[in-house]
Structure 1
Amino acid sequence: MSGSPLVGERAAHPAYGVLRQVTPTAAVLLADNPSPMTLDGTNTWVLRAPDTEACVVVDPGPLDEAHLARVAACGPVAAVLLTHGHPDHAEGARRFGELVGAPVRALDPALRLGSEGLAGGDVVAEAGLAIRVLATPGHTADSLCFLIDHDGPPSVLTGDTVLGRGSTVVAHPDGQLADYLESLRVLADLAPGTAVLPGHGPELADAGEAARGYLAHREQRLAQVRAAVASLGGAPTPRQVVELVYADVDRVLWPAAEWSVRAQLEYLREQS
């Protein structure tokens, strides 16, 4: 789940149903689930080393049989990895794992199919790749990123931690702003030229640059929230803050913005 508006009219996106090679080791299938919260839809990533038959699938997406069948056709599938448990990324994971006979690995035990989980510091050795797991909580408590460094420029699959367009919701209370800021610092320290392969939106050229931009945006929002709290008398409701700080944002996104404001208010209380 992201936090940015869908751009353009609701129409068949040219990428729906088409496997697009993005890097030598990563291809993407766009799920047909566009919305204000998912942009053009969820990016399902198919990972494999060149000349390797088996693949790793990241975020099978919603429970959409047509989409899952298209992803399954990219197999054989050695493993399914989840960046986090929001339904637009994970709802179809169990069905997909059963369809292709592969384990589903996630930080949250409730999302797994099979006994093996995932945690920061793990390395998933499948499909000719060594996929390094980064713990990146903040958007949600269970958010993970996956770093690939294989015979060329590295790339990182970021789920909803960094999007290809717009900014991300901190899904309070599960998501915590302090955690999110630290996760952005982790991404900001990745090697220059590490490509971002996001859960929504287009790929980005440099994870460090993107993460630093997100950090600057969060600092700007925190300053706006501080000013709003002061102008509203010191104890406003999150909705009152949203109406001031997010006045230029489409109102359909205000409920999601309220999650982030709750996270910001809690963060400011903890810092005071």
Structure 2
Amino acid sequence: MSWPAPVRLTPRVTLVGSGTLGFGLTDAHDSHVYLLDGGTDAVLLDAGCGLAADRIAANVRAVLGARPVSRILLTHAHADHAGGAAELARLLGATVHALAPAAAIVAAADEDASGLRTARRAGVYPPHLHPPAVPVHPLDAPRLGVGALTVEVHPTPGHAAGHACFSYRDAGARALFSGDLVFARGRVAVLATPDTDLGELAASLRAVRDLAADVLLPGHGAPVLRDAHTHLDAAVGHLDRGALPPGLLP
């Protein structure tokens, strides 16, 4: 069976990895992995779990040709988003970056802090998934350049320690890479892990709502290519009514 081709979502963004909770492009356990092309530079947003890193790298090359990817920006340290960081960094010659709490977890391959050991015992991940350690550069500036684009870094704890969202403006529109903070229709993913904090989650949802994003590019599920602010408004509307937004599934 042939692998599905990468999916161009916007003039700047191509989906190069995605698992069962998405487009099924690569390994079933992968989050969405986005390629952001700034022209003279390109970066990846998240890295998948690592079981199909070669496929993700091939998709990147299919889009960029010989042009390189300079950095892998991780939204957080959970294995479906960060497990592939070491192998993709090797295959693409890229460096890995995350907010300091997530950077420490990924750099040490700490399976307890990332929740991987517990999730693997629960059958969420296969027993052979053991992502290796990789050097990770802490993100300590509020923005970074990616070719012609300026990417803003938004600390958004709540779903996980050191969770970050990223956004950029192009042609007057703001696109938001929301990781696992918020999904289409204002849905959220709340895990029974020590680093999940509902108070921080609510504050982070309100903060990203105020960005008034036009495009929402979440870690799983359907991307939203117009009027994304209405989906973020829906999440905050639940909070305003004293309720948690609905879960990602079903």
Distance 1:190 1:209 in 2: 12
Q: Tell me the residue number matched to 2:33.
A: 44
Distance 1:94 1:115 in 2: 9
- Does structure 2 conserve the Cα–Cα contact (< 8 Å) formed by 1:60 and 1:90? yes
Structure 1 residue 155: deviation in Å? 0.6
Q: Does 1:122 align with 2:142?
A: yes
Q: Tell me the residue number matched to 1:22.
A: 9
Distance 1:88 1:21 in 2: 21
Helix, strand or coil: the match of 1:197? strand
Q: Tell me the residue number matched to 1:69.
A: 57
Q: Tell me the residue number matched to 1:81.
A: 73
Structure 1 residue 19: deviation in Å? 2.0
Change (3 A) 1:80 1:65: closer
* Rg (Cα) greater in structure: 1
Helix, strand or coil: the match of 1:174? coil
Change (3 A) 1:98 1:44: same
- Does structure 2 conserve the Cα–Cα contact (< 8 Å) formed by 1:62 and 1:91? yes
Distance 2:169 2:196 in 1: 28
Change (3 A) 1:101 1:128: same
Q: Cα RMSD over matched residues?
A: 2.9
TM-score by length of 2: 0.72
Q: Tell me the residue number matched to 1:102.
A: 94
Change (3 A) 1:40 1:221: farther
Change (3 A) 1:87 1:115: closer
Q: Tell me the residue number matched to 1:198.
A: 218
Q: Tell me the residue number matched to 1:227.
A: none
Distance 1:114 1:210 in 2: 35
Structure 1 residue 39: deviation in Å? 4.7
Write the mapping of 1:143-158 to structure 2, written as runs, cut at 5 A.
143-158=163-178
- Does structure 2 conserve the Cα–Cα contact (< 8 Å) formed by 1:68 and 1:92? no
Helix, strand or coil: the match of 2:56? helix
- Does structure 2 conserve the Cα–Cα contact (< 8 Å) formed by 1:47 and 1:127? no
**2:179 equivalent among 159, 165, 181:** 159
Structure 1 residue 101: deviation in Å? 1.1
Q: Tell me the residue number matched to 1:59.
A: 46
Aligned residues: 207
Change (3 A) 1:39 1:48: closer
Segments of 5+ residues of structure 2 without an aligned counterpart are: 25-30, 108-133
- Does structure 2 conserve the Cα–Cα contact (< 8 Å) formed by 1:56 and 1:127? no
Distance 1:71 1:60 in 2: 13
Distance 1:89 1:115 in 2: 14
Change (3 A) 1:144 1:201: same
Q: Which one is further off, 160-169 or 22-31?
A: 160-169
- Does structure 2 conserve the Cα–Cα contact (< 8 Å) formed by 1:80 and 1:103? yes
- Does structure 2 conserve the Cα–Cα contact (< 8 Å) formed by 1:140 and 1:170? no
Segments of 5+ residues of structure 1 without an aligned counterpart are: 1-11, 224-244, 251-272
Distance 2:210 2:59 in 1: 32
Distance 1:21 1:72 in 2: 12
Q: Which one is further off, 164-173 or 17-26?
A: 164-173
**2:196 equivalent among 163, 171, 175:** 175
- Does structure 2 conserve the Cα–Cα contact (< 8 Å) formed by 1:190 and 1:207? no
Change (3 A) 1:222 1:202: closer
Structure 1 residue 207: deviation in Å? 3.8
Q: Which one is further off, 179-188 or 199-208?
A: 199-208
